[in-house]
Structure 1
């Protein structure tokens, strides 16, 4: 029976040892409060140091309005309630993300060229922060390499205030001067005319245009503000506040320009057609005038009779009206079919004019041969003059129309960069690191408590069958002197002599 009781006691003691009471854990945390505070301070300092040396990140934004095209209000209302109706700004957002727009920005701003100062990752930043020696940017205007060397890192070293050297894998490719384009074996570099700082080193990389467009698309944030507002927000983050502002400015300008060009495309095509036709009509006019003058010289300046002049004026007016109907028919054919009343009225008027022209042609055949020839040549001159003047007037109208074309895109807020960086957020980083330091130290203390359990009370010894004759309270003074003596080799005295009133004595 005694053996069974001893076994039960040992099992109970073992279970108690395996169970860590909450009060015990809290007590250990209080005992190690200095460790916790030290850990919090250390991690807070690390967070502050990171915030100090981290590269600040800025944000630029812009606002663009997409104005709705006016149309049939009934159809517009119906389309707005249809399921899966696409917002009007959705196509414009995709257009902003297209290679046509972003590719133009990449080409104009040389975003396919990456230039960075070459420094040690952490030590270099710390040194620059302490000394205030910020390495200036290298103004690269163009950099071309063979396609197989895309994404390959080149090294540029400044050897004087206007000279540099280009290296690849430690091998010198060429030496060059600022303001001059240098090319050797398919590698070409052009640095703007500026004053260099001797001894600086830069990394230079050429990336494919498609890759540069993809990188730019990842940086851009394009979204509609609200639902069906037609207001598109553009934003981009970056370490260079001027660069990100220029990126949004160029994207907005290219997008606006293509919208206007798309709206004025019809007028542009008509102008191209007129530019080709005007020289031909002018040539025909000159030829008809030369033929008329030559015939009059041959016939001793024969003049038309009053009757012939009347017929000529009428024929010229008819030809002018027929030419005008041709222009109107070209415009109406884009809007209506030939069965439309407006189109039918135009064709009927054309037939009437052509019948009248045939009737006058009968009068012309009744005139003498010389009069007929003079009338024919004079009519050719006047008709060509009318056509030429009509084309000139039409060209002026189209030029005005093209110049005054306004797209349905409007830049509300031009690109601007917030002067205050959005990252790193120093206060938040320090706070999070402080909390993290507290968590690390607390977890360490709890694990240490679990793995290093000891005797917590005299009752545990008695339950194990050991006799306890006395319990001596812990002397804080003796404990501190013992710790100091262990670390500083200090001389330890007798507690009863040093502190006779101590509870332990």
Structure 2
């Protein structure tokens, strides 16, 4: 492999590993927040269940209509005239739009009183959840009904002026009947009677048949036609089944199965009625036109026959020459064509104006025929007068007879067609009551609600992770800070339970939970500290010094310091605990000692600090008995008598001594850089095998940086799921900028489980977590 390939392999592998680590990190974030995700999933499930109980079930009814190809009913007039009429648009899409039109829906609204809306204001949102179902109104041809807890509401008529449409009225029972009010006006009447009230906007007509008993108001509203038809269309689905099948499928959803079926049935019947009316409209108009023309044509025929008969009686029969016969025959043919065209023109002018292309075309043909007829007439004029008049009258009679008989035949045919006329749309299936709910889909809603809740929980986990970015993953801590995590201390359940009691004093793991993983982790920390401690310490100063600090308060520094001291004491080594947090140190509480006669008191003497003032009665009420005795002794004891032996206290545990924090000084950092502290520490190192210093947090004070100059090893304590990554990283940076080497990070209070990569740090422990 060449150098270039090696270079690519070195760069490509970490990139893929980084992506895998990022995905694994995101997955671990979700696993660590599983409780929050589970909580929101349960909340989502509960909301879904409440929604299922709150929402009324929805039903659906279906119907089928078939659209046939439109046939022109005026075909009885002959193919020529039928072709002149415009074809009907019977496309499926056009029929779908017709079904949704107000022309079809308005008769349904009027028949079933769908524009009257009743509601029960006494039914609250909680009632809907508790009852799991609320009654809905039923609209029929007889009126509108609604069941309530106190009885039935039934209204058979309700009309209001235009200005009062879509405005609610209050309807309630009275001793004499009912009361109707809209806030500004009130009307009263009796049951089962039609009333016409005059309001400021116009007349209100209402017929109330029944109302609930007692003081149970009902809201009633007269909706506008537009809103009512829009609500029907929103629940109505009309589409063609298949491709170019001509079959239209209609479905209507609603809160009442019977209401949905009844409404859809009336929509279907209204459409069929409208289609039937439209189909017979042309036939009816044509018949009406023929009924007007037949008497006139009959009169023309009778008149021409009378004139011809009179002429024959006066002149007798005359033989016409062959040439005259041919001319007259052609002339007769032209007359027949002219008459036919005139009849067509008369038919067309009932539908169109004279400017219509068909009418203009007939006029052009008439002009040509008239011109030819004029030529024939000029030729016939040369025939004898008697013969010409005979032929003219005989042709008039024949033409009038043919026109009359043709119209009469077509009229009779159209009457037969009208009698057997059917709509081009037919009903295949009418809606039936299936009583199957389409919504809410309980299982789907519960699954979606649970998944939505879990998704929201996951988003919150990610958001909290991004915002808080707390310490959880040891490997992440090491990558962020560059400092190894040398120990992870699992949470001790018994100790945590005891610490939740604010009145209880802090306890040691050796006394409460000495067989736990937490105690074994402290032992493991001791082993690592012993192995990592430099061995080039002079014999005169043989104490090994460990500095315990943290990035912020409440990370468990004192807990680690005290229990680590107890573990070192198990080796029969002299151990000294120094509470160097002279502001908020708490180590004296762990061993049940007083904070006074401590480090701050010893260091303050060198700077000429005034003796302690006597404590007041108010201070005594907040102090323990041991603290009061020590404070009283210090106020009566001269400051010159305070030496090293006075500030070293026996802890109550063999081989462990404690220097408490002392009285709160005004300048703790100044005391730590004094020569008196340097001399004190030199003396202490010659007396003990191990010295453990509990120092203030790095970000709260600079004391830890000063104390680190005396330590062989510096440990930074971080609390699992509490310490902030940025704060920990910044604290490490602050120490490193001061040329202080941090030997390791201790991750404290780690929650035991399989949900984090920290588990392997203490999985080898053999202690039983009781």
1:475 and 1:502 in contact (8 A); partners too: no
For the residue of structure 2 that corresponds to 1:504, the secondary structure is: helix
Secondary structure of 2:171's counterpart equals: strand
Counterpart position of 1:45:
46
C-alpha distance in 1 between matches for 2:115 and 2:394: 63
**TM-superposed deviation, 1:356:** 13
More helix by share: 1
Aligned to 1:258, the other structure's residue is in SS state helix
Provide the residue aligned with 1:231 in structure 2. Answer: 247
Q: Distance in 2 between matches of 1:146 and 1:402?
A: 42
Note closer, same or farther for the CA distance 1:228–1:332 as it changes in structure 2 (3 Å cut). Answer: farther
Partner of 2:705: none
1:372-411 superposed matches below 5 A? 401-411=417-427
1:440 aligns with 2:456: yes
For 2:34, the equivalent position in structure 1 comes to 33
- Pairing 1:203–2:206 present: no
Q: 1:88-131 CA deviation, whole Å, 9 max, x = no partner?
A: 22322232233321222222222332222224551342354499
Question: Counterparts of 1:45 and 1:265 in 2: how far apart (Å)?
Answer: 60
Residue of structure 1 in register with 2:105 after alignment: 102
Q: Which has the higher contact order (CA 8 A, sep 6+)?
A: 1
Q: 2:152 touches 2:212 (CA, 8 Å); kept in 1? A: no
Deviation at 1:465, TM superposition (A): 10
Among residues 125, 128, 142, which one is paired with 1:125 in the alignment?
128
Change (3 A) 1:437 1:165: same
Instruction: Decide whether aligned partners of structure 1 residues 480 and 30 sit closer, same or farther in structure 2, where only a CA change above 3 A counts.
Output: farther
* Greater Cα shift, 95-104 or 456-465: 456-465
* Contact kept? 1:61, 1:417, Cα under 8 Å: no
Q: How much does 1:492 deviate?
A: 7.9
Unaligned stretches of 5+ residues in structure 1: 1-19, 73-85, 281-325, 341-347, 358-390
Q: Deviations over 1:271-321 (max 9, x none)?
A: 77899999x9xxxxxxxxxxxxxxxxxxxxxxxxxxxxxxxxxxxxxxxxx
Distance 1:445 1:181, change over 3 A: same
Query: Could you say which residue in structure 2 is the equivalent of 1:148?
Result: 163
Contact 1:181 1:189 in 2 (8 A): yes
Task: Describe the SS at the equivalent of 1:229.
Answer: coil
**Whole-angstrom CA distance in 2 between matches of 1:236 and 1:504:** 67
Give the Cα separation in 1 of the matches to 2:115 and 2:244.
35
Residue of structure 1 equivalent to 2:329 = none
In the alignment, the residues of structure 1 paired with residue 457 and residue 517 of structure 2 have an alpha-carbon distance, to the nearest angstrom, of: 33
Give the match's secondary structure for 1:118: coil
TM-score normalised per structure 2: 0.42
Shift in Å, 1:473 = 2.3
Partner of 2:60: 59
Q: How many residues align?
A: 385
| Aligned CA distance change for structure 1 residues 168 and 351 (closer, same or farther; 3 Å) | farther
* TM-score scaled by length of structure 1: 0.61
Verify: 1:496 aligned to 2:510, yes or no: yes
8 Å Cα contact 2:171-2:180 kept in structure 1: yes
Structure 1 CA distance, aligned partners of 2:487 and 2:97?
Answer: 81
Q: Distance in 2 between matches of 1:459 and 1:205?
A: 66
Q: Report the Cα offset of residue 147 of structure 1.
A: 1.5
Is 1:173 matched with 2:172?
no
Aligned partners of 1:126 and 1:239: how far apart in 2?
16
Greater Rg over alpha carbons, structure = 2
CA contact (8 A) 1:87 1:228 kept: no
Distance in 1 of aligned mates of 2:265 and 2:476: 80
Distance in 2 between residues matched to 1:178 and 1:159, nearest whole Å? 14
d(CA) in 2 for partners of 1:100 and 1:89? Answer: 17
For the pair 1:471 / 2:472, whether they are aligned, the reply is no
What is the aligned counterpart of 1:453 among 469, 475, 481?
469
Counterpart position of 1:6: none
> How far apart, CA to CA, are the structure 1 residues paired with 2:102 and 2:475?
80
How far apart are the structure 2 equivalents of 1:149 and 1:59?
A: 32
- Displacement of 1:247 in angstroms is 2.1
Q: 2:94 is matched with which residue: 84, 91, 94? A: 91
Does structure 1 residue 116 correspond to structure 2 residue 119?
yes
Deviations 1:335-392 (A, max 9, x none): 999999xxxxxxx9x95794799xxxxxxxxxxxxxxxxxxxxxxxxxxxxxxxxx9x
CA distance in 2, matches of 1:437, 1:145: 48
CA deviation vs aligned residue, 1:447-487 (integer Å, no higher than 9, x gap): 2233333455499699979999x73621443465257x359
Q: Once structures 1 and 2 are overlaid, which stretch shifts more, 225-234 or 131-140?
A: 131-140
Partner SS, residue 487 of structure 2: coil
